[in-house]
Structure formats: C-alpha cells, structure tokens
Structure 1
Amino acid sequence: MENLVGGDCAEKDLVNGGKMNVFTSIEIKPMMRFNEPFRSNSFAVILVKNGTLLFQSNFAKNTLKAKDVFLVTPGSICELLEMSADIDFITLGFKKDYLKEQGVFLNGAEIVHLFSSDLVHKFSLQEEEFKELEFTLLSLKRKINLPEVTPHFKDIVRHSFISVLHEVLLIYSKRRVFLSVKLNRKEELTTNFLNLLSEHFKREKRVQHYAKELFVTSRHLSQVVKQVTGKTAGEIIDEMLINEAKVLLSSHVMNVSQVADELKFSDQSFFGKFFKKYTGVSPSVYRSNSTISINPPF
C-alpha cells in the first residue's frame, strides 16, 4: 500500500509503517492501470458502493457491483479490466506483519482463514451487512486520519481495524455452509491442472507434462480445460507466462535477461519473440513504460 497517493494519505500511511490503510476510489483511481497484471503486496478488502468493476484475480474473472465485497490475498496476480464511470468503492489494505503486530492471531485465528486461497473471495451483501461494513471501514479511515498525538492513537486504530475484520468474519460465517461446491469431473480436472500449473509453469511449459501428471491425454486435457474456461491448456500456460513476465518486468527489479532466466526460457531472444507475439511490444519497451508493480493499488 506504500505511496499510493500523495499528500495526507501518503503521510498517514506512514503512521502504520506502510502496513495498513483505507482508501476511497477517488484517492486510488489515479493509481489504477488497466490490462496490466500486478502481484498484490497485501491483503485487501474491496467494498463496492456503486457502479461495476471487472477484476481478475489468479486468472478468475469477477464482476464486482454495488454491495459486493471482494477479498484479495498477498501474492495474487491481479488485473483490472474495466470499470464503469460511476464506480465508487472503499478498499482496506494491510500486510501480514500488521496482523501479527496487532496480535490478531491470538484472538481471531479464523480471520487469517478468511483470506485463504481456497476460499470463495466474492460476496454479495444484504443492505444491513453492506451498511455495517461501510460504516466500520469509514470509521477506521477517520481514526487513521486523527492526529498522531491523539491519546492512545495506536490502540484506537487497532480496535477499529479489528472491528472491520470481525465484520468480514461475520459475513463469512453466515455463508460458509454454502461454500462447499461440489465440482463435476471436468471442473475438478481443470482445477487440478491450474493448481499444478501455478506451481510449475516456470519450469514446465508443455501441455504433455501436465497431462501425464493428471493421467490423461494432452488432447483430453485441452478439450476439458477449454470447455470449462474457454481457453485451451496451452493458451492458459502462455497467458500465465505472459502475466508473470509483465509482473516481473514492471517491478523494475530484474532486467529483460534476468526475467528470461527466471521464466526458464532458453535465451533472451526467444523470450523476446514470445513476449512480443502476445503483447505487440518488446519486453524492454513494456518494462520502460510500466510502473504498476512499483505502486500496486493494493
């Protein structure tokens, strides 16, 4: 969440060591970049008040509308795809270290589970639930913006932060009985493929490898994956590689050659041709034009 916006917001972010803050859509919109994948560097709670936001997290597309809440996990590959002109939302972002520092693990173990990668991350809220969560988020924002010299400032912020997490926990607890969705065979095979791919895509880029691991033929795997996702297994492998390449390039930590090595391409030239085929620009041009991973919106 560091350095997302200028002025007072950036200063207040430093109150919590850059580990927790609340932003409105007005504040965060200037940092939003569309169709540029980034890796989330924090947990986030996104509450949509109005309008729609098309958002992709770990290659799953979600349309967020009024009264929807979405939970983001650190390390997720995210991409903002579209938003309506009337979009209005609030987002709370916080680092795992902030949870530990506030002792949340001592009295709210389930809170961490809320952000498990296995959990359904999107909920549509009832009017009362929406109002309660909106109130606690805005209340936390007001507490963060109090002068630092306010007596018991850190305790006030801490209690307000935990109130937000408890509201989210309450929403989850009401719905968790409905979260166990039985997958059919095609969905199960696709899920297993995606799980394997997320672990091994840098080393293994061949559909045959994943088909062998899943005890099916390459043709069957691609056909099933396309029926479930609309894309073949090969297309998903390429998409995951391209998105990871974009994240690494836009972070400005690695040069093009290092990114090619990280993704286990045989050489920089082959990586460059692969990247340009899918993006229309060379890796070096993309790297020089992108800053979203330096300042991700959450």
Structure 2
Amino acid sequence: MKEQQSVYSCVVDSDSSDGKRMVLSEGFYFVLVTNGTALVEDSYRKYALEKYDLLILTPSITVAFDTADTGFSMICVYIEPAYFDTLPDGQPMYNQLVRFLGSYTLPVLRLDSAGYAYLKQTLDLLLAGCPDSYCLNREGIGRHLCSFLLLQVANILHQDSEHTSVSVRRSGEVFRNFKKLLVEHYRTHHHISFYAGRLNISTTYLSRIVKRVTGRTVYFHVSEILCAEARRLLGCTDLDIKEIADRLGFSDQSAFGKFFLKKTGVSPLKFRLRKTE
C-alpha cells in the first residue's frame, strides 16, 4: 500500500483478500474494478461489480465485499475526510454526488473503455507514489494528484447525470406504455413476458423500470387491477364465480379463488355474500 499524507491506495484481488470479508467505511473511497466480478452490499441491497465499474463512497456509507470470483481485482484509493476537506476540488465532486445521497443507492458508475483507461492512469500514479528523489515537492504532488482525481470523478458523475436524465425520461415513457397495455390486456395476460414482448424490451428491463418508477413489481400492478375488476364483478353482476374466473383469464375457479383470497383475505364467495347482506 502506498501512502501520501492522508491518502492511501492499493490493489486488492481475490488472492490477497485471503477469503476475508473486506469492509470499507468512514472515508472517501474510489474503487475501480480492473478484472472479474464481485458482490458488494450496503445496508439496503447487494450490487454486482465488474470490470469498468467505478464505486464511490463517502464517509456516511459502509459497504462490505461479500463474494468475489477468482479473477477479481480492483484499485482502491482512500482519502481521509479531514484531508479531503482541505482539497479545493473536493466540493465540485461532492456536489455531483448529492443526487445519490439519501436515495439509498450506491454510486456505482459504468465507464466506457476510454474513460476507464484515463481514470486508471491517474490511479496508477497514486499507486506508484512519488519517487524518493522528489522529497522537496512530495506533498504538493500528492495534493495535485488527488485534486486531479477528484476533478476526473466529478466529470464522470456529471456525464452520468446527463445520461440518467435521458434514462429517466425513457423510463417514464416505458412505464406509461406498460400501464396502457395493462389496461387493455390484463384480463387475458397476467405475465410480465407478454408486456415486455409487446414493448420490445427484456423482462428484466421492464421489471427494473416499473420498480424504479413505482417501488412496486410488475406482478403487483397486474394483480391490483385484476383484483379491482374481480371485486366489481362479484359485487355488481350476477356472473357466477366460474364465469368471473374465465373472464379474468384464470385457468380455473380454484386458481381464481386462491388469488382472490391472497389479495383480500376472504374467498370470492364470502366477499359476494358480504355485499348482499
């Protein structure tokens, strides 16, 4: 590990970790994955990291590396909070991080090959440290290298923010089209694969968008509209329960009964009897 003032940098790989669970906390960390994959978790969820991913941590965030494959390696730079506060270029980077703070989402950014190579050059310089012959300007060189790193990361965050704005607009469009399809087809199609297929996207992508926009799953939205229509048909029509099950696309009356009981806590028959009392 190289040390420059209150800045520490190292290379971590699956061999050097000795199978121990590595925890990062109470500092500013810049982690660039250079090979392989690993799982990292905070208090809310797990994230899969792979080559070209940049993870940025602030002192309020604690993460643990859960598992890593045998080829995993990363460069990690730690900046002590008190030292970070003395760097004039820390604030521009921190301003770009604000959108992540309080969102319960780790700042994990996917770099393109050029951005990855450019950032890695800076991290390699921090890893190498100053030669012994640079005793006169060692501190100044270290501070400038840190400032250069922070400005690079600020730019990466800014570019990602612009991309995210486009992504958010795209997410809203996909969600609106999903809801429109749902209203038209919920009686006959209960599965995410149908809606993803009609939207020409993967089921994983649709699931992620719906969850991001609403905090609920695709199945929740399907089941909510199905249950609302089931309540209406049970309470306002003379259709028998088997006919309602058929109309709502269930394989049989038993499947409909289990669905309705799970959603409402009562069977379709009990619900109908309550309405007639």
TM-score (norm 1): 0.50
Give a deviation string over 1:31-74, Cα, whole Å, max 9, x none: 7722x7x5602111110111001110222211101111111222
> Is residue 130 from structure 1 mapped to residue 116 from structure 2 by the alignment?
yes
**Are the aligned partners of 1:67 and 1:125 in contact in 2 as well (CA < 8 Å)?**
yes
- Residue 256 of structure 2: aligned partner: none
Which residue, 56, 60, 74 being the options, matches 1:71?
56
Q: Aligned partners of 2:139, 2:100: CA distance in 1, in Å?
A: 24
Query: Once the two structures are aligned, what percentage of the paired residues are identical?
Result: 17
- Residue 29 of structure 1: aligned partner: 16
**Are the aligned partners of 2:7 and 2:78 in contact in 1 as well (CA < 8 Å)?**
yes
- Residue 270 of structure 1: aligned partner: none
Judge which range, 20-29 or 106-115, deviates more.
106-115
- Residue 100 of structure 1: aligned partner: 85
- Equivalenced residues, count: 172
Distance 1:87 1:159, change over 3 A: same
Q: Aligned partners of 1:128, 1:66: CA distance in 2, in Å?
A: 13
Which residue, 200, 214, 234 being the options, matches 1:184?
214
Give the counterpart letter for 1:147 in structure 2: D
Matches within 5 A, 1:74-89: 74-89=59-74
Give the superposition deviation at 1:28: 9.4
TM-score (norm 2): 0.53
Distance 1:87 1:129, change over 3 A: same
Q: Aligned partners of 2:18, 2:136: CA distance in 1, in Å?
A: 33
Distance 1:178 1:32, change over 3 A: farther
Matches within 5 A, 1:2-13: 9=1, 12-13=2-3
Give the superposition deviation at 1:164: 1.2
- Residue 196 of structure 2: aligned partner: none
Give the superposition deviation at 1:123: 1.2
Give a deviation string over 1:203-224, Cα, whole Å, max 9, x none: xxxxxxxxxxxxxxxxxxxx9x
Give a deviation string over 1:3-45, Cα, whole Å, max 9, x none: xxxxxx3xx53x41xx3111111599347722x7x56021111
Distance 1:111 1:97, change over 3 A: farther
Matches within 5 A, 1:163-174: 163-174=148-159
Give the counterpart letter for 2:119 in structure 1: L
Give the gaps of 5 or more residues in structure 1: 1-8, 188-222, 224-298
> Is residue 52 from structure 1 mapped to residue 37 from structure 2 by the alignment?
yes
Distance 1:175 1:162, change over 3 A: same
Q: Aligned partners of 1:106, 1:29: CA distance in 2, in Å?
A: 34
Q: Aligned partners of 1:117, 1:153: CA distance in 2, in Å?
A: 37
Q: Aligned partners of 1:114, 1:159: CA distance in 2, in Å?
A: 26
**Are the aligned partners of 1:71 and 1:115 in contact in 2 as well (CA < 8 Å)?**
no
- Residue 282 of structure 1: aligned partner: none
Greater relative CO (CA pairs within 8 A, separation 6+)? 1
SS, match of residue 172 in structure 1: helix
Distance 1:98 1:113, change over 3 A: farther
**Are the aligned partners of 2:33 and 2:54 in contact in 1 as well (CA < 8 Å)?**
yes
Q: Aligned partners of 1:134, 1:161: CA distance in 2, in Å?
A: 13
Distance 1:39 1:169, change over 3 A: closer
Q: Aligned partners of 1:151, 1:27: CA distance in 2, in Å?
A: 37
- Residue 226 of structure 1: aligned partner: none
**Are the aligned partners of 1:48 and 1:65 in contact in 2 as well (CA < 8 Å)?**
yes
Give the counterpart letter for 2:63 in structure 1: C
Give the counterpart letter for 1:74 in structure 2: P
Give the counterpart letter for 1:122 in structure 2: V
**Are the aligned partners of 2:26 and 2:59 in contact in 1 as well (CA < 8 Å)?**
yes
SS, match of residue 29 in structure 1: coil
Give the superposition deviation at 1:139: 1.4
SS, match of residue 101 in structure 1: coil
Q: Tell me the C-alpha RMSD between the 2 structures.
A: 3.1
**Are the aligned partners of 1:57 and 1:77 in contact in 2 as well (CA < 8 Å)?**
yes
SS, match of residue 122 in structure 2: helix
